[in-house]
């Protein structure tokens, strides 16, 4: 496993919740500009792994670094600083319905320390342009389609120029065509240098957009296709 140039890495990691082992012997890394799938059955430990990556759970043992933070020793007061270095995209968008699109982005920026009003406005319009929604900034979120709301969610994840994005089932509530549009946006973001780790159950998307794939199973993680040759997952079940 290459560690030196990784956005994050875990070596021989163990993750526990409530004293119980969820994952063990975890070896995982993400390179700059990579787009990687994370798959696994419900209850496999995928969510616990994501929580470890955004600081909600510490590594119980082993070693790991995410940005400049030690994943075993990170302090609660450091978690907000960690989360400025990553973006999170949720399945259910989690947008504020009482504000328009730009105001949703401004809310995030102000809560993470942005002060300059001109800089805030400029960055809001910049990230909306990146996801193809610069013309929708004045719209209330409920006036947007599901795909547009997810694009706003992606724009929100980009406001602090994160090193990488955790996308947790970002196409789970979308139709196939809209899902393809969202994956295309995420792939374009990765191509520009912001790494993306995407948890998904959508095998169709994975077939259409093959990439390195990590599977959570049997209390650990393993790489399915290290040579980036897509496996059609005939043996994989998400039940």
Q: What is the pLDDT of residues 29-79, one digit of tens each?
A: 999 999 999 999 888 999 899 999 988 899 999 999 998 899 999 998 998
**Residue ranges in 32-83 assigned as alpha helix (H):** 46-53, 79-83
Residues 113-155: tens digit of each pLDDT: 899 999 999 999 999 999 999 999 999 999 999 999 999 999 9
Place of tokens 């599901």: 146
Cα 147–chain centre separation: 17
Mean pLDDT, rounded, for 87-92: 86
Residue 81 is predicted with a pLDDT of: 86
The structure tokens 């955004």 sit at 54
The predicted-structure confidence for 186-225, as pLDDT tens digits, reads as follows 999 999 999 999 999 898 999 999 999 999 999 999 988 5
Say if residues 139 and 95 touch (Cβ distance below 8 Å).
no
pLDDT at residue 97 is higher than 80: yes
H-type alpha helices, the chain: 46-53, 79-83, 101-111, 117-130, 146-158, 176-191, 203-208
Q: Check whether 4 has a pLDDT greater than 80.
A: no
Question: Distance from first CA to last CA of the chain, Å, rounded?
Answer: 30
Supply the pTM of this predicted model: 0.87
- Categorise residue 169: left if φ over 0, alpha if ψ from -120 to 50, beta otherwise: left
Question: How much of the chain exceeds pLDDT 90, in percent?
Answer: 66
| DSSP bridge pairs for 20 | 17
61-66 and 6-17 strand pairing: antiparallel
pLDDT in the model for residue 42? 85
**Residue 237: what pLDDT?**
40
pLDDT band at 227; cut points 50, 70, 90 = very low
96, 102 contact by CB (below 8 A): no
Residue 84's contacts (CB-CB under 8 Å, 6 or more residues apart) are 112, 113, 160, 162
């Amino acid at each position: 496993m290459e560690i030196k140039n990784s956005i994050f890495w875990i070596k021989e990691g163990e993750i526990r919740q409530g004293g119980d082992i969820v994952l063990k012997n975890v070896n995982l890394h993400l390179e700059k500009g990579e787009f990687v799938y994370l798959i696994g059955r419900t209850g496999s430990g995928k969510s616990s792994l994501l929580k470890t990556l955004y600081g909600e759970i510490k590594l119980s043992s082993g070693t790991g670094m995410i940005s400049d933070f030690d994943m075993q020793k990170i302090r609660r007061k450091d978690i907000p600083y960690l989360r400025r270095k990553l973006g999170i995209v949720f399945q259910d968008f989690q947008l504020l319905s009482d504000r328009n699109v730009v105001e949703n982005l401004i809310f995030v920026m102000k809560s993470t320390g942005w002060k300059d009003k001109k800089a805030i406005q400029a960055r809001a319009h910049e990230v909306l342009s990146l996801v193809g929604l610069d013309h929708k900034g004045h719209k209330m979120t409920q006036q947007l389609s599901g795909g547009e709301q997810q694009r706003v969610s992606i724009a929100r994840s980009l406001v602090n120029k994160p090193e990488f994005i955790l996308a947790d089932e970002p196409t789970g509530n979308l139709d196939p065509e809209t899902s393809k549009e969202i994956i295309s946006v995420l792939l374009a973001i990765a191509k520009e240098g912001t790494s993306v780790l995407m948890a998904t159950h959508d095998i169709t998307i994975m077939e259409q957009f093959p990439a390195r794939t990590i599977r959570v199973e049997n209390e650990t993680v393993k790489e399915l296709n290290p040579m980036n040759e897509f496996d059609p997952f005939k043996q994989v079940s998400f039940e």
